[in-house]
Structure 1
Amino acid sequence: MKKQQGFTLIELMIVVAIIGILSAFAVPAYQNYTKKTHASEMLSAASAMKTAVGVCLISGISDCKSGVAGNGVPAIQEFDKAATDAFSIESKVVKAADDSIAAGIEITVGTSTNTATAGSTKGSLPANFKITLTPKLSANAGVTWSAACSADSADFCPVKGGAATPTPTP
C-alpha cells in the first residue's frame, strides 16, 4: 500500500495566515509608492512651464502668468489621461518692483473638465493635493526653484521633507 502524501490542513492554514500578514504590510506601502509616482509625474510634467517662466523672468518681464500675450508662458496645461488620472499646471508668477515673487507655478489634481474623479481610486492622490514651485530670481544664479507640497502629503510628496532645495532652471 502506498503512503499518501500532501499537505495537512493546518500547514495550509499557516501558509494562508503568513500570506495575509505579509499583504497587510505590503498593500499600504504599495499605495504610497503609487501616490509618490503620480506626484513625481506631475512634478516632471511641469518642466516646460518652469523653463518658460524662467526665460520670462530673466527677460525682465514682470507678468509671467499663464496665457498672458507676449510673455512666452503657455496657457494652463491640462493632462487628462484617464477618468481617475488628471492634473493641471498653471503659472501665477508675477514679479514685484522689488524683484520679489509672491506666487509660483501650481500643479493641482484634476482639470477643468475632470475634477470629480480626482482621488477616487486606491493609490491615487487626494483631490486637494497641490505642488507649488516658487521661483527666485538672483543676479548670479539666474532662476532657482523651490518646491512644496500641500499639507498631509509627507508620505508621498516627491520632494524630500515636503520642500526641496532650490535647483537651477535648465
Structure 2
Amino acid sequence: MAANENDSNKMRRHQQEFIEGLIEEMEQPVAGMLYKMTRDVMLIEDVMVATWTVACQKITQLSKHENPRGWIMRTAKLQMLQALEENNKCGVADAYELEVLNKVGSYLESGNAREEELKETLKEHLKEDESKAIILRFFYELSYMEMAEYFHCSETTVRKRVSRALSKLRKAGPDIWHD
C-alpha cells in the first residue's frame, strides 16, 4: 500500500515538474502569439490561464504527447478563438482562418509525407501564389507586411490573395482535408 502511494506521489511530482517546465518554456511564445491575435492584454491573460488550466487537467495525455509544445500553442489558439467569439470580437472569417491554421499546423507537424500531402491538397484547390500565401501566413505566421516583401507586391494585394484562397478553401468544404 505504501509503495503504491509512494509511486503515485512520484508520478504527481514528475507531472508537476513537467508542467512547470513547460509553462516556463512556453509562456513567452504563447503570449507573443496571442498578442499577434489581439492586443487585449486582459484577454491574453485570461486565455493563458485557461490554456494552462486545460494543460493541467490533461497532464497525463500531455506528458505522453509527441509534441507538447505544439499542443500548447494549438490549445492557446483555440482558447483565444473561443474567447474572441464569446466577446463578439471575431467574425466567421477569423474562425475559419484559425481552422485552416490548425489544419496546416497538424499536417506540417506530422512530417514530410504529410507536408507533401498538404501541398498537394492546396495545389488541387488554389493557384500557386495562393497556396504559398496560405503556408506563409498560417504555418510560418508571417505578417501581411512580410508577405508583401516576399511577393514583391502591396500589403493590400497579399490580404486579397489570402482572403481569396480562404474563400476557395471554404467553398471546397471540409472534405478537402485528408485526416
With the length of structure 1 as denominator, give the TM-score of the two structures: 0.25
Structure with bigger gyration radius: 1
Greater strand share, structure number: 1
Greater helix share, structure number: 2
With the length of structure 2 as denominator, give the TM-score of the two structures: 0.24
Q: RCO (CA 8 Å, sep 6+): is it higher in 1 or 2?
A: 1
